Copies of this chain bind each other. A is one copy, B any other.
Amino acid sequence: MRIPILKLKEYLLVSVQIELDDQTALQFQEDILNKIHEEGSRGVVIDLTSVDFIDSFIAKVLGDVVDMSNLMGAKVVLTGIQPAVAITLVDMGILMHGVPTALDLEQGLEKLQQELEG
């Protein structure tokens, strides 16, 4: 199963609304990088509002997506990380330093705009 990627002007929007198993996460990584390349996107918002659980592998894949996109010239903001997910991540020692985050899709887009202007 693939996670749909929406193009909105110079940004890509992704709302993860299925369970992220390892295979889906890796496919998503490939898809988003290809889409950034195709569309020449300057920024990406990945919304995790519907994600109940992130393990260390998925966290690494998401962190890698941010680094890889940055290398390609696109900023990534993760949004909507649930309290339970934040607790699990920090308990596992995964602090995702250097990964911009925001509360929801709207604030993610605003943050992206600020980062691209600033």
Instruction: Identify the A interface with B (CB < 8 A).
Output: 1-2, 4-9, 13, 15, 17-18, 47, 50, 104-106, 109
Contacts and interface: CB of A to CB of B under 8 A. Distances in A.
A13 B47 CA distance: 13
Copies of chain A in the complex: 2
Given A6-B47, A8-B109, 14 more contacts: A1-B1, A4-B15, A4-B17, A4-B18, A5-B15, A6-B6, A6-B13, A6-B15, A6-B105, A7-B104, A7-B105, A8-B105, A9-B106, A13-B13
Contacts of A1: 1
Interface of A is mostly: mixed
Nearest to A17: B4
21 contacts: A1-B1, A2-B17, A4-B4, A4-B15, A4-B17, A4-B18, A4-B50, A5-B15, A6-B6, A6-B13, A6-B15, A6-B47, A6-B105, A7-B104, A7-B105, A8-B13, A8-B105, A8-B106, A8-B109, A9-B106, A13-B13
